[in-house]
Structures are given as structure tokens and as C-alpha cells.
Amino acid sequence: MAEFTVNTQRTDPYLNSKFVVKFDGKTPVPGIFRVSSLKRITAPLAHRAGTAPSEDHLEPGLTSWEPIVLERGRTHDTSFEDWANLVWTQGGKISLAKYRKDIRIELQDEQGTTVMAFNVQRAWPSEYVALGPLDAEAPATAVETLTLQHEGIVRDTGVQEPLET
């Protein structure tokens, strides 16, 4: 099968530097510059027959999903903080009805067209870093980080390879 079915002249894979992250299918969350790998792990389950005590057979066991880490430069946009505060707030009252969100991660080509999309199901923040380390001797962007637990990643197969012009 060809790597690119619409743009058969294309030989280079997509770059990992153009992407959009949306919470609840809404407008893109501003400033995200890094998204960790979208990774699932299926544990092997070993078993053996009673008649073959020295031979294991492996089959798929439970599948788990790695947390997703979002990083962005610190600004006055509060979308990370607002979501994290649904899981923990001063005084301990949290919103059980709203703390999970579906998120969408869209990979874009060099022209900014979405070429692939992944829907992350029932995500919730397990770790929030309001401000990363500060260092006066190494000037860099102040960073805010949100780590998300979730219940699965599904590729949106409705997003097809666009015709490149």
C-alpha cells in the first residue's frame, strides 16, 4: 500500500511540529508547544496447557493508556488551570460532573490543513504544574504543564488525506 494515496508524489512523512489541541471539541487551546506520545500498551498474558508444562503461549491481556502531557508557554489564558481546579480546589469541593473532557489532537501538514486526528476519551487532569522551574541564568519560556489520564485514544478515520496544492 502506498504511504500517501491521494498525494502519490509525496515521499516525506508529516512533520511533528504543526498540531492543534481542542478541549471538548471547541476552539484550539492556545500556546501548546509539546504533546507527549499517544501510547497504548497491551500486556502479554502467558498461559500453558497442562500437557505442555515447559511451553508458554502468549496472548493479549489488559490494555492500558499512557498519560498525555501537554506543555505550553505560560500566559494569562487559564484553560489548564480551570480544568485542573475541577479536580482539586482550596476547600476540597470538586466538580464530579464536569472534570472529564474529551480532547482532540489534530496533526496538520505544512499548509495548516488537518491530515490526521485523534480523539482522547474521558480525560482528566492528574497533575498540574502552574509554573515550571525558574532560572535567571538560563532565560527561557516560562512553562505550564497539564498531565492527563484518560480512557482511550481513537483515531478519527473521517479525516482523510487532503489533496496538496
Residue 96 placed within a domain? yes
Say what the pLDDT of residue 1 is: 58
In a domain, 148, yes or no: yes
Domain containing residue 128? 19-36+67-155
Residue 58 falls within a domain, yes or no?
no
pLDDT at 91: 77
147 beta partners:
69, 127
Q: What is the pLDDT of residue 104?
A: 97
**Average pLDDT of adjacent 10-residue blocks, the chain of 165 residues:** 73 87 90 97 89 84 97 96 89 80 95 95 97 90 97 95 81
Cell of 162: 487532503
Confidence (pTM): 0.87
Q: Which residues contact 122 (CB under 8 A, 6 or more apart)?
A: 100, 101, 102, 150, 151, 152
* In a domain? residue 161: no
pLDDT of residue 40: 96
What is the H or E stretch that residue 155 is in?
strand 153-155
Residue 75, in any domain of the structure: yes
Helix (H) or strand (E) holding 162: none
Closest CA to 96 of 64, 122, 67, 69: 122
**Count of structural domains within the chain:** 1
Residue 109 falls inside a structural domain = yes
Residue 89 lies in a domain: yes
Q: Is residue 59 situated within a structural domain? A: no
